[in-house]
Copies of this chain bind each other. A is one copy, B any other.
């Protein structure tokens, strides 16, 4: 009865999941989110609507699932130079992606879902990425903010602005990073 969280790769279930996810991405790219329906997604994915209803429950949950999958990091963030430079580059790209139309919509879909599992997942992704920079800095003996400081004073303000409709521009993002770095130096 229960659907497994991570279907065995290559199985039928995995194929259906991939087809449905792809279908959702296609539709979101083509048309307005408000006119996307489960029957349409099902048709494009060559699947019956009831399959989607049984597996995901409703549109909200499906969209949240697709969004979370998209937001999952591919690997470790790029290494350019110092941990600070790496962080700056990463945050700037993060802000850009989240503030884009698609990114914003994904955020909303994730937060709107009744089940907060995807939201948690997202937070975990971000914390993981940041912890990589922290580890690098530590390895070099470079002074660096803590994870909590980065989450509270860099990530949170960016996300807040995006959600409440004030796009964070690159200059603003750099200022946030600069500030948190300055404080970490002082306290070190």
Contact = CB atoms under 8 A, between A and B. Distances in A.
Contacts of A34: 114
A85 interface: no
A27 interface: no
A164 B120 CA distance: 5
Contacts of A111: 108, 111-112, 163
Contact of A152 (B119, B151, B157, B165): B157
Interface residues of A, number: 27
A51 interface: no
Interface in A33-61: 33-34, 60
Contacts of A157: 151-153, 156-157
Interface of A: 33-34, 60, 108-109, 111-112, 114, 116, 119-120, 122-123, 151-153, 155-157, 159-161, 163-166, 176
6 contacts: A111-B112, A119-B165, A151-B160, A152-B153, A152-B160, A163-B163
